[in-house]
Structure 1
Amino acid sequence: MSNPDDLDDGLVYDFDSQQEVEIEANGNDGLQKRPIQDDDDEKEVKETSEGESERPMSKRQKKLQKKSKFIEKKKEESQYIVSQRKSIPTSSPEKIIEYLTALIREKNPDLSALELEELYFKKKDFLSTEKFDTERKLTDFSTFMQKFSVAPKKIVFSMSNIRVADVYRSLNGGKNCVKLFSKSKLKDDIATVERLLGDSSKKSKNSNDSFYFIATPTRMQKIIEETELLFQGKEKLDIILDASYLDPKDNTILSFENAVVLCQVLKTFLNKKSSVKILLY
């Protein structure tokens, strides 16, 4: 039996050493020929492409990349700090104390542990306002006060003169509010406090009446250095920190430059006045 592989059909099968592929040309009876590309040619193209992509960066490119990473990292850190500041007013008293303790330690690096202990706040100093789940804007400040504050006298601390005026307007101003800030002369503010608190015969006998002293920490510090009237009496006193407001630099009253003054004033009231509670709005 003959082997099909050995078939002798009289035809000559002669292949050229350079292989060619015949491709029909559209609209042409003839044939176009192209040589088959060697594997070595493909490998050379691939290596060239990879070589270009793996080319080392210049010093300028490295510097720009490093700067970009640094900026992104700083942005993330800034966003975290802002989110933390926003969360403090709605936090538990424990979280608030933790934040203030860190602030006091940071601002008083030269004090001993015993001296720092005298500056720290306690849980009993604060009233929790966690349950107030409405966004803390000035339009809802009156509602907040009605829900959480029952003291006949209230001190509201805001971080700037402009903010003091804004809070004053949110409470409709009038007879139950007074602004204490540097736009007025210090002697006039002291006279106002003495007029409102000094004459016991003019004090309201209605326990439901409330009065607001709206002040910056620095102005209140100067007032209590001159008069003790705000510490007198056994009635309750609520101190409200306008802590949800962020200024253009994303600072709050707990992080701005006079935050230490605020802590000092708060401790003075806690030490000299009975029945004082601090609330954060």
Structure 2
Amino acid sequence: MRLANSDPSQMPETMKHGGDDLEDDFVLDETVALSEDEEVETIAHLDDEDVFVDAGDDEADENGGGTDEDADEEESTKVDDAAVAKKRKRREKEKERKKRKIAETVEKSEGLTSAQPPHQLSSYLASMQAKSFPKLSALELEDLRIPESAIVDTTSWTSSRTLDELVEFITKVLPSLRLRLAQKSKSNGAPTLIYVAGAALRVADVTRVLKNNKLQGDKGGDVAKLFAKHFKLSQHVSYLKRTKIGAAAGTPGRLGKLLNETDALSVSALSHIILDVTYKDPKNRSLLDIPETRDEVFQTVLNNELVLKGIKEGKIQVVLF
């Protein structure tokens, strides 16, 4: 760098950047972590455009000052570096989206567990249920078993079971659900559909699909996005008590707490529960392969007194997607 006896006052002023305060309104983030049971933290994130340029006055004084030309050159270089970093961040996000896309199993339907007939699915669910209740006797397990009559026969669906096909799947295989989703519930916090997914990121993806106008029409209720990461239970309770929802997508942990520890999530209008069992995470595990989520499904969601009663009485149908 060429040194000159310049007046330090001619140096460009240091740019100051500050993160925006997080909004207080109950608006769910589009980007969420896979873990759902961590405590809420307030984290300030820098925008992609946040760029720090210019050395401080102390550094300029120490080097004997610099010319305006040198300062402009340094600033230009740092801005260029920031642009490169921004492009790299965009590429990383694109790679992450592709990974999530690849993670959706695109096997042939006939090879999927979820594509089996109801009697086989009933046995499958019973075997998974036994793993969640290892101390119960065979007779006690039978009382908790999801009956074959409560499981929807989806064998007519031969296409892949990915989120790209979910709207068409509901339209063709679950026509009564599609009609109900297009109608607004009479009560707050009372969905006609509960969609159980294994991770917060997956819940966010499912929620976007369920908001499709082909399902909701002009009168359908809101789609609740329910997971623990970033949101306290009290926030979801407040949201549900003031909102008419048509569907609720959530992780089994948060759904279980809302069903068993609060009165905010009502099953009065509930007609379908979809278990997201075809989707595999990056470790090739499904909702019922992971011990923690499997236990939460059977111990807190399907074992809820009102949910189990509705299933046994034929008012609530279970769907494996």
Partner of 2:233: 186
Whether 2:258 is the aligned partner of 1:212: answer no
Structure 1 counterpart SS, 2:144: coil
Partner of 1:115: 140
> Which protein is richer in strand relative to its size?
1
- Aligned 1:141-180 pairs, distance under 5 A: 141-149=166-174, 150-151=176-177, 152=180, 153-172=192-211, 176-180=222-226
Partner of 1:262: 297
Partner of 2:11: none
Kindly indicate whether the alpha-carbon contact (under 8 Å) linking 1:190 and 1:226 is maintained by their aligned counterparts in 2.
Answer: no
CA distance in 2, matches of 1:237, 1:166: 22
Partner of 1:64: none
* Superposed CA RMSD: 2.7
Question: C-alpha displacement at 1:119, in angstroms?
Answer: 2.1
Structure-2 change in CA distance of 1:161 and 1:236 (3 Å): closer
For structure 2, the 5+ residue unaligned runs are 1-106, 181-191, 214-220
Partner of 1:131: 156
Structure-2 change in CA distance of 1:86 and 1:217 (3 Å): farther
CA distance in 1, matches of 2:234, 2:110: 35
Identity score, percent:
28
Kindly indicate whether the alpha-carbon contact (under 8 Å) linking 1:136 and 1:244 is maintained by their aligned counterparts in 2.
Answer: yes
Letter of the structure 2 residue corresponding to residue 270 of structure 1: L
- Aligned 1:17-56 pairs, distance under 5 A: none
Q: How many residues align structurally?
A: 187
Question: C-alpha displacement at 1:107, in angstroms?
Answer: 3.4
CA distance in 2, matches of 1:272, 1:102: 21
Kindly indicate whether the alpha-carbon contact (under 8 Å) linking 1:89 and 1:280 is maintained by their aligned counterparts in 2.
Answer: yes
CA distance in 2, matches of 1:86, 1:226: 38
Kindly indicate whether the alpha-carbon contact (under 8 Å) linking 2:194 and 2:270 is maintained by their aligned counterparts in 1.
Answer: no
Partner of 2:243: 196
Q: Bigger CA drift: 165-174 or 257-266?
A: 165-174
Structure 1 counterpart SS, 2:249: strand
Structure-2 change in CA distance of 1:91 and 1:232 (3 Å): closer
Question: C-alpha displacement at 1:135, in angstroms?
Answer: 0.7
Alignment deviations for residues 175-212 of structure 1 (CA, whole Å, 9 cap, x no partner): 63110111321111112222235xxxxxxxxxxxx811
CA distance in 1, matches of 2:145, 2:223: 30
CA distance in 1, matches of 2:228, 2:137: 34
For structure 1, the 5+ residue unaligned runs are 1-81, 198-209
CA distance in 2, matches of 1:217, 1:185: 15
Kindly indicate whether the alpha-carbon contact (under 8 Å) linking 1:231 and 1:272 is maintained by their aligned counterparts in 2.
Answer: no
Structure-2 change in CA distance of 1:252 and 1:272 (3 Å): same
Alignment deviations for residues 99-146 of structure 1 (CA, whole Å, 9 cap, x no partner): 122222233332222222222211112111111111111111111112
Whether 2:296 is the aligned partner of 1:271: answer no
